[in-house]
Amino acid sequence: MAVFTVSDPESWTRHCTDGFRGEICDWLVANLLDPLAVLWTRPTVVEDVPDGGRVIRCTVIEQGTTVPREIVVPLIVPPPMRWSQREM
């Protein structure tokens, strides 16, 4: 199974200072995720699954709760190819 890390705690600060934050947040919205709910203290990854599809695995704090929860959602919009070609 291939795993592509979109963001993790080590890279998030760099994403913000290098101007990638907005692009990542737009991608999350396109995949029906709330960027304000996704915890950047945990990795956000795209994974291949056995049925041939791809999913996003991330940790969120849902509105009205304080407990982080790992979720897996279907990938709707793939990450841009250039993300895999640059050091994010």
Question: Which whole-number Å values give the CA distances from 64 to 37, 49, 61, 67, 73, in the listed order?
Answer: 11, 31, 8, 9, 20
Separation of alpha carbons 16 and 68, rounded Å: 22
**Annotated domain spans of the chain:** 3-77
Separation of alpha carbons 33 and 88, rounded Å: 20
Average pLDDT, the chain: 87
∠ CA 75-19-60, rounded to 5°: 40
Separation of alpha carbons 25 and 54, rounded Å: 19
pLDDT at residue number 20: 82
pLDDT tens figures, 52-83: 999 999 999 988 999 999 999 999 999 887 77
Token representation of residue 48? 């291949």
Task: Quote the pTM value.
Answer: 0.86
Q: How confident is the model at residue 86 (pLDDT cuts 50, 70, 90)?
A: very low
